[in-house]
Structure 1
Amino acid sequence: MERGAVIVAGFGGRAAATAAAYADALAGAWGGGRIDALAAPADRCAALAPLAATLGLPLLALSPEMLEGRATPTRSAISLARRGTGSVAEAAALAGAGPGARLLRPRHIATDRTATCAIAQRTQS
């Protein structure tokens, strides 16, 4: 990890996703190390709030406009149809990290398949 970098875990998930599923997705995507914030579509933040509180991290609620049209390496037909991006988790991580961010880890799917997590980094100047 670069000095002065901001690391953001971005999440996507089904309406049925729980904080435990999001935690599982995060563990699979990152597995440890510093995270500065969590980011997700605003309509998924209620389920993520317990995880953010447990980790003591800010939770960035992203508008649909912040995700729609964002290019991602993963191309899920479901995500494209519903959210206008190939991977909600990857788009959320990139949007949450800010301009110039790059993915460190592509989306990881939770064991129960209801949640995904990706990790992005932006180097601060």
Structure 2
Amino acid sequence: MDHPAMTAPDLFAGIGLREAALPDDLRDLLALAPAPLAGLATLAEKARHPALAALCRETGLPLREIARADLAAVPTLTRSPGQIARFGTGSLAEACALLAAGPGARLTGPRQIAHSGRATIAFAERNPA
């Protein structure tokens, strides 16, 4: 996506991952970022995952841990019934990205899924106002 008016660091990546996720899964997804990132976000209980810890060390990006209770009712582009039942929102990755980017943030598009199926990523832009 082309974002001519966006300047770094206004883009945040929300990450969802399974226990079996590998660092390469996350690296491949991070390469899809449409602009430089200000930070990463994931569910607090997934924040210590070895693949995510490796990604943070490699990139130097800060990781925001999102509380499960904060996910409830965050509107997302993706409406996964499984995610709604488990987390109260349609996409963990999209909700984490939006919460990290702050009030008025907007998604750049729906979540993207790693080829392996072990991780997802979504990008949200901070509100420029």
The structure, 1 or 2, with the larger RCO (C-alpha pairs under 8 Å, 6+ apart) is 1
Alignment of 1:89-100 (within 5 A): 89-100=93-104
* Structure-2 separation of matches of 1:20 and 1:44: 17
Unmatched segments (≥5 aa) in structure 2 = none
Cα-Cα RMSD: 1.7
Q: Which residue of 1 aligns with 2:25?
A: 21
Q: Which residue of 2 aligns with 1:11?
A: 15
Are the equivalent residues in 1 in contact too, given 2:13–2:122 (CA < 8 A)? yes
1:27-57 deviations in Å (ceiling 9; x for gaps)? 2x42x53101000001111121210111111
Structure 1 counterpart of 2:26, which letter? Y
Distance 1:46 1:4, change over 3 A: closer
Question: Deviation of residue 4 (structure 1)?
Answer: 6.8
Relative to its length, the structure with more strand (as a share) is 1
Q: What percentage of residue pairs aligned between the two structures are identical? A: 41
15-24 vs 52-61, which moves further: 15-24
* Structure-2 separation of matches of 1:94 and 1:64: 14
* Structure-2 separation of matches of 1:52 and 1:35: 12
Relative to its length, the structure with more helix (as a share) is 1
* Structure-2 separation of matches of 1:101 and 1:85: 16
Question: Deviation of residue 23 (structure 1)?
Answer: 1.9
Question: Deviation of residue 26 (structure 1)?
Answer: 2.2
* Moved segments of 4+, more than 4 Å: none
1:41-98 deviations in Å (ceiling 9; x for gaps)? 0111112121011111100011012212111010111111111110000000001111
Unmatched segments (≥5 aa) in structure 1 = none
Are the equivalent residues in 2 in contact too, given 1:25–1:111 (CA < 8 A)? no
* Structure-1 separation of matches of 2:71 and 2:24: 24
